[in-house]
A and B are shown apart, each in its own frame.
Chain A
Amino acid sequence: MIINLLKLIKKTLPSTSKRYIQVRHCLSSDDKPADVQIGDPFCLTPIEYESHTLRKHDNFKRQRLYEFGLYVAACMPKFVQKIQMQHTDELEILTSPEGLFPVMSFMAHHQHACFNQCSHATAIDVPSREYRFEIAYNLLSLRFGERARVKSYTDEVTPLHSAYSLWGNCNWLEREIYDMFGIIFTNHPDLRRILTDYGFVGHPLRKDFPLTGYVEVRYDDELKKIVYEPVEFAQEMRNFQLQSPWNYLRSFHESYNCPVPEKKEAK
């Protein structure tokens, strides 16, 4: 009865409140059978936990953010490749590398998006992939009070369009990404190293760059200046095996996470 009433209201009221009603309709609809496998792709199943120790999810906000993600995907179907919601209720918009700048200028300037602040920009290196770097821009909308993440991918040689023209702080953020990973940005006013030493060779946060680096620096008293030498260890790398002769962690044995089913002996 309530659902019919909602449907009636949907038709009559203007479209701005339609969204609100649709969300409420999603959350309160009971006419879907519980054992249906394929759910409605536009409606997220609300997360409710009985336990009081687990984080409470604002399902209404979550659904609204997801619908905004669908809206972005519908506005730019050529570039947006995937929309995902994280377990922390964060929206991620995954785009192709050519579409990174168009999608970000949409997010920055469109009246329904208004993401006027770029909180942070980072990159991830997964060397086993063909496009080894994943780049993520965390955006914040001061007008709507929402956050979103725009992610894209690239390899070592393909440049990305800089977001400097949209948000000025991307100047340093992209310089940091260039310095740490080696991702080149076009249309960047001043792309040079920002964190590493002058004349440093290599990109430290790549996975194939060792933790201790290649060169170590020290002050030489005889020459009265700083010298660069290849890094050497007084002690070689040790792999610790955390075992003890006493069984004090008897319960936490190897098959703790995957318990082997007990075989009942037939008598």
Chain B
Amino acid sequence: MFKQIGHIVKRNPVFLSVRYKAAYEGDGKTTVRVINQEQDLGLMIDAFATYGFRLNNGITVLGPIAIFPRTILSWQVKSSKEITEDSLRFFKLLEPKIDLLIIGLESNDRSTTDTVFRAARAVKLNVEILATEHACSTFNFLNSEARSVAGAIIPPLHVEVNEDDMLKSKLHYENLYKKELH
């Protein structure tokens, strides 16, 4: 590597200083901010699977969850058919009052969405009914904006996995630093 740089320095020394400069350093520079890593913004969902969720403080919760800005609870609901007026009444009793409840359903069917919507309307809650994947990300960025939102999310029935996800979960469960070197 250093031999190559030596080569370049010999040939065109002027360009070396320009070569490794960032594309734009100024006011409108594009930055990336991963809100999950910022611990003081509250609880966020890092990952989801068919069995549960992993949060950004390292906790893995199994089954459906009721998630709040800084609290996590397990929700006693087996599927979206069991979401009735009674199971949502708990969210109405919270103090400070939540602005929005995000419900994450395990599938995208219109019929299940309708029954849940009717149950939510009976409790007079401001709800947003989404699929699990979208519910997790919506809860994350609404929580990062410090709005009082709560999430009632059921793990999905099907998860579409790509290779990046498989690699990340493999790395998570195999602690590379404790592995023996071959």
Chain A residue numbers with a CB within 8 Å of B102 are: 198
Q: Which residues does chain A contribute within 8 Å of B138, judged by CB atoms?
A: 198
Q: Please give, as numbers and ranges, the residues of chain B lying within 8 Å of A225 by CB-CB distance.
A: 146-148
Q: Which residue of B lies closest to A226 (CB)?
A: B147
Q: How many residues of B sit at the interface, in one of the four size bands? A: 10 to 19
A192 touches B134 (CB 8 A): yes
- Whole-angstrom distance between the alpha carbons of A189 and B110 in the complex? 11
Are B99 and A228 interface neighbours, CB within 8 A?
yes
The reply to whether A198 and B142 contact each other, CB–CB distance below 8 Å, is yes
How many A-B residue pairs have C-beta atoms within 8 angstroms? Tell me. Answer: 27
Does A199 have its Cβ within 8 Å of any Cβ on chain B?
yes
Give the docked Cα–Cα distance between A192 and B110 (Å).
Answer: 11
Verify B146–A190 contact, CB threshold 8 A: no
Contact with A along B137-149 (1 / 0, CB 8 A): 0100010001110
Dominant secondary structure at the A interface: loop
Stretch in contact with the other chain, from B32-40, B51-59, B76-84, B123-131:
B123-131
Interface hits, A172-224 → B, CB 8 Å = 184, 186, 189-190, 192-193, 198-199, 201
**Is B100 located at the chain interface by the 8 A CB criterion?**
yes
- A192→B130 contact, CB < 8 A: yes
> Closest B-chain residue to A186, C-beta based?
B110
Specify the chain A residue showing the minimal Cβ separation from B134: A192
Asked whether any CB of chain A lies closer than 8 Å to the CB of B108, the reply is yes
In-complex Cβ contact of A199 among B99, B108, B110, B146 (8 A): B99
Known contacts A190-B108, A192-B134: A198-B148 contact under CB 8 Å: no
- Ranked nearest first, the 5 interchain pairs of A and B with the lowest CB-CB distance are A199-B126, A199-B100, A198-B128, A199-B128, A198-B100
What is A's interface to B at a CB cutoff of 8 Å? 184, 186, 189-190, 192-193, 198-199, 201, 225-226, 228
* Chain B residues close to A by CB (< 8 Å): 99-102, 108, 110, 126-128, 130-131, 134, 138, 142, 146-148
Q: Other than A189-B108, A198-B138, A225-B147, give 8 A-B pairs with Cβ distance below 8 A.
A: A184-B110, A192-B130, A193-B128, A198-B128, A199-B99, A201-B126, A226-B99, A228-B99
